[in-house]
């Protein structure tokens, strides 16, 4: 009898967790439809650009884990070469999940799998515009934790999986609170905080904070790309500089011959 009651309670909790608030669905649909006058033309331009610079499909489709562990096909503009090796990303992700390193993407260290211009498409976040279709389908929301890939979901601890108790989103608390500057554990804390405290006001705040967060990300990428160039230039200048000369006037204790 107790077991049956526990199962009923678990079913009620699961149903409650899987229910999308009406305000959230209304906000998503309204913003996507109103914003279509901007994102549809932008998407067509990006699709044309990808078609010119890289042979292959314009869209990249990947199975992701959605609300309550439900799987769906997540859409993105393709920013990598066709049939790019995903094992590299899996190894990188595993390293981040088991360390206190910042959540830096492989982009920042020079990812040879990227197509021309792919780095900037990703930095600006416009490669994720097709996910607005996922939003219209009800598979994603504008705001929520990022949808994880299946191998990432399998590596998550039990409490970390609670981030899947809400719809995944294009932007979220983690993205506007540091993103690549935070650790994996901090990302989990922010995702779980959003799940526990999501509201219309919080979603509106996160959406407003997203644009400044993207600008900061683009700025950081620019600095990261300049850093190696500056380092090489400084090294070259040091090599070409004349060797310093010393005189006894400058160094009283130096013996002269």
The answer to the question of residue 50 being in a domain is yes
Q: Pick the closest to residue 65 from 170, 160, 149 (CA basis).
A: 149
The answer to the question of residue 254 being in a domain is no
Instruction: Give the pLDDT of residue 220.
Output: 78
Decide: pTM greater than 0.85. Answer: no
Q: How many domains does the chain divide into?
A: 1
Per-residue pLDDT band for 42 (boundaries 50, 70, 90) equals very high
Q: Pick the closest to residue 47 from 62, 55, 59 (CA basis).
A: 59
How many CB atoms sit inside 10 A of residue 65's CB? Answer: 22
More confident of the two residues 3 and 203: 203
pLDDT in tens, 68-123: 999 999 999 999 988 877 777 788 788 888 888 887 766 555 677 889 999 899 98
Please give the mean pLDDT across all residues of the chain: 81
3-class DSSP string for 79-114: CECCCCCCHHHHHHHHHHHCCCCCCCCHHHHCCCCE
Instruction: Give the pLDDT of residue 110.
Output: 65
pLDDT in tens, 212-243: 999 988 887 777 766 654 443 433 443 344 44
Instruction: Give the pLDDT of residue 167.
Output: 97
The answer to the question of residue 251 being in a domain is no
DSSP per-residue string spanning 188-251: HHHHHHHHHH--HHHHHHHHHHHHHHHHHHHHHHHHHHHHHHHHHHHHHHHHHSPPP---TTT-
The answer to the question of residue 247 being in a domain is no
Average pLDDT for 127-145? 97
The answer to the question of residue 13 being in a domain is no
For residue 208, the enclosing domain spans: 19-229
Average pLDDT for 186-209? 96
* Partners of 77 in beta bridges: 59
The token duo for 160 is 């970390």
Instruction: Give the pLDDT of residue 109.
Output: 57
The answer to the question of residue 122 being in a domain is yes
């Amino acid at each position: 009898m107790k077991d049956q009651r526990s199962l009923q309670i678990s079913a009620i909790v699961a149903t409650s967790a899987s229910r999308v608030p009406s305000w959230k669905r209304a906000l998503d649909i309204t913003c996507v439809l109103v914003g279509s006058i901007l994102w549809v033309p932008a998407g067509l331009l990006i699709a044309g650009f990808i078609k010119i610079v890289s042979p292959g499909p314009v869209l990249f489709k990947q199975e992701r884990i959605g609300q309550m562990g439900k799987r769906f096909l997540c859409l993105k503009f393709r920013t990598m070469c066709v049939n790019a090796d995903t094992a590299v990303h899996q190894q990188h992700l595993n390293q981040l999940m088991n360390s206190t390193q910042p959540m830096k993407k492989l982009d920042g260290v020079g990812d040879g799998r990227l197509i021309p211009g792919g780095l900037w498409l990703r930095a600006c976040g416009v490669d994720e515009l097709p996910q607005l279709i996922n939003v219209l389908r009800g598979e994603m929301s504008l705001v929520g934790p990022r949808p994880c890939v299946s191998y990432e979901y399998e590596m998550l601890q039990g409490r970390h999986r609670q981030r899947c108790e809400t719809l995944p989103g294009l932007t979220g608390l983690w993205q506007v609170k540091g993103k690549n500057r935070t650790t994996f554990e901090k990302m989990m804390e922010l995702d779980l905080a959003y799940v526990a405290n999501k509201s219309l006001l919080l979603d509106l705040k996160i959406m407003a904070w997203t644009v400044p967060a993207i600008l900061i990300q683009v700025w950081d990428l620019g600095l990261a790309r300049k850093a190696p160039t500056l380092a090489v230039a400084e090294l070259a200048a040091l090599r070409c500089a004349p060797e310093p000369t010393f005189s006894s006037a400058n160094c009283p204790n130096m013996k002269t011959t």
